[in-house]
């Protein structure tokens, strides 16, 4: 095998073995955690009502009300949170844009100093800063990344965040309600289906963590099961006292 072929093989092997998980979570993390939140909160709500010896009709109405209230609350909260964050970032970008317009030389020197602090030779750092500062929009993007740690082209969308939170929460919250809608008259089918859903969500979370899927699944199952057991006990105590 020639040297060129050997280098190509090593390059390909390095590329194949040097991939990383999506550490930002992408769409997976907010979707899974939204579904998990819906599962745990609605399961706990329904078991608490069931513990007070409520009728199946009352339990299913409670579950549907919890689904709707939680999903709308999640969507509204996520929209407000992301919109506020986006507005704050835009305000900081406007400040940086004005500074680049009023004091271009000072901003260029500031950028060069950042590169020097990271180990770049001063002359080279200044030359790089000069070249990057020739385009005002490129300079703004570089300053935003270096000083604010953000990418102006990848700001989150409040609408997308709200819709995804609403959908994932509603999907998770629907699981414990589903057996009742299909004709179940006792709590156990709802609990079993919800616990299976919790295990599946926990296993999916392992996609963005270093834990094994079985560990993440069992951990989430245990936490959700504990929440349901506690609320069932509270419901039983309150139901007996009323």
pLDDT one-digit tens code per residue, 117-135 = 888 898 998 898 888 888 8
Query: In the predicted model, is pLDDT for residue 28 greater than 70?
Result: no
Structure confidence at residue 25 (pLDDT) = 40
Name the pLDDT band for 67 (thresholds 50, 70, 90): very high
Query: In the predicted model, is pLDDT for residue 20 greater than 70?
Result: no
Residue 114: which residues within 8 A CB-CB, separation 6 or more?
146, 147
Separation CA 131–CA 146 (nearest Å): 16
Q: Give 135-175 pLDDT, tens digit per residue.
A: 888 888 888 887 777 888 778 888 888 898 899 999 999 99
Structure confidence at residue 161 (pLDDT) = 86
Separation CA 235–CA 12 (nearest Å): 60
Separation CA 28–CA 207 (nearest Å): 8
Separation CA 174–CA 177 (nearest Å): 5
Average pLDDT over residues 27-37: 75
What residue spans of 52-181 are helical by DSSP H? 56-102, 104-117, 122-132, 136-143, 158-181
Average pLDDT over residues 74-96: 89
Query: In the predicted model, is pLDDT for residue 22 greater than 50?
Result: no
What is the three-class DSSP state of 75? helix
Distances (CA, A) of 45 to 77, 78, 90, 103: 20, 22, 40, 58
Query: In the predicted model, is pLDDT for residue 180 greater than 90?
Result: yes
Query: In the predicted model, is pLDDT for residue 29 greater than 70?
Result: no
Q: Give 42-59 pLDDT, tens digit per residue.
A: 999 999 999 988 999 999
DSSP string, 12-59: HHHHHH-----TT-TTHHHHHHHHHHHHHHHHHHHHHHHHTT--HHHH
DSSP string, 58-73: HHHHHHHHHHHHHHHH
């Amino acid at each position: 095998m020639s040297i060129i072929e050997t280098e190509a093989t090593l390059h390909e092997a390095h590329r194949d073995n040097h991939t990383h998980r999506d550490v930002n979570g992408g769409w997976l993390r907010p979707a899974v955690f939204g579904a998990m939140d819906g599962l745990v909160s609605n399961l706990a709500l329904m078991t608490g009502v069931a513990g007070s010896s409520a009728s199946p009709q009352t339990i299913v109405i409670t579950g549907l009300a919890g689904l709707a209230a939680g999903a709308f609350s999640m969507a509204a909260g996520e929209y407000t949170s992301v919109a506020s964050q986006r507005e704050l970032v835009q305000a900081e970008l406007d400040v940086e844009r004005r500074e680049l317009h009023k004091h271009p030389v000072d901003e260029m020197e500031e950028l060069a100093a950042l590169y020097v602090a990271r180990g770049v030779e001063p002359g080279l750092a200044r030359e790089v800063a000069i070249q990057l500062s020739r385009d005002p929009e490129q300079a703004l993007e570089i300053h935003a990344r270096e000083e604010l740690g953000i990418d102006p082209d990848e700001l989150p969308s409040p609408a997308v965040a709200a819709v995804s939170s609403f959908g994932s929460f509603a999907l998770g919250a629907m699981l414990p309600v589903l057996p009742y809608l299909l004709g179940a008259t006792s709590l156990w089918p709802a609990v079993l289906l919800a616990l299976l859903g919790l295990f599946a969500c926990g296993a999916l979370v392992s996609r963005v963590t270093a834990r094994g899927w079985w560990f993440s699944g069992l951990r989430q199952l245990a936490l959700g099961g504990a929440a349901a057991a506690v609320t069932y006990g509270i419901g039983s105590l309150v139901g007996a006292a009323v």
